[in-house]
């Protein structure tokens, strides 16, 4: 038998072990990473062919650039804001997402709830964009408050 034996009576209580493994200070990344990924993915797609995006949406090229820059700023800002103590960057990033999402809902997705494409809504309904809008507003209103509370 091994000389290193496990003495159950001297183990740390379960509650103390769970507290030592508390990862709640990092839980905000479960929202930040997917939210930022969506915005960065869409921004990169627009930058790849800005004229096509502007034409498809019937937007002036200048407005198409503003949308792409807002998406890029949202994605990067939410990620960068997550490592800063001050919540201003996170708030601004959340705020930048609002006009983009309101525009997407109003111009493309309005009139159908389900995200599943249909004959009337080939790009799907507004379900996903409404969720993103709620998350963006949450970032705009709270900044880094949830991360700060758990630190």
Q: What is the DSSP string of 2-43?
A: -S----GGGSPPHHHHHHHT--GGGTTHHHHHHHHHHHHHHH
Alpha-carbon distance of 85 to 26, in angstroms, equals 13
Tens of pLDDT along the chain (151 residues) come to 555 555 554 566 766 666 667 788 889 999 999 999 999 999 999 999 999 999 999 999 999 999 999 999 999 999 999 999 899 999 999 999 999 999 999 998 888 778 787 888 888 888 999 999 999 999 999 999 865 554 4
């Amino acid at each position: 038998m091994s000389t290193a034996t496990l003495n159950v009576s001297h183990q740390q209580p379960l509650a103390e072990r769970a507290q030592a493994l508390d990862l709640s200070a990092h839980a905000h990344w479960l929202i930040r990473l997917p939210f930022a990924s969506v915005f960065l993915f869409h921004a990169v797609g627009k930058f790849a062919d800005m004229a096509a995006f502007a034409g498809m949406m019937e937007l002036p090229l200048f407005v198409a650039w503003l949308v792409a820059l807002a998406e890029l700023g949202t994605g990067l800002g939410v990620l960068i804001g997550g490592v800063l103590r001050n919540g201003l960057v996170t708030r601004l990033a959340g705020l930048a997402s609002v006009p983009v999402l309101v525009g997407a809902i109003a111009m493309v997705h309005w009139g159908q709830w389900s995200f599943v494409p249909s004959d009337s809504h080939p790009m799907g309904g507004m379900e996903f964009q409404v969720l993103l809008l709620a998350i963006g507003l949450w970032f705009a209103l709270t900044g880094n408050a949830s991360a700060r509370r758990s630190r």
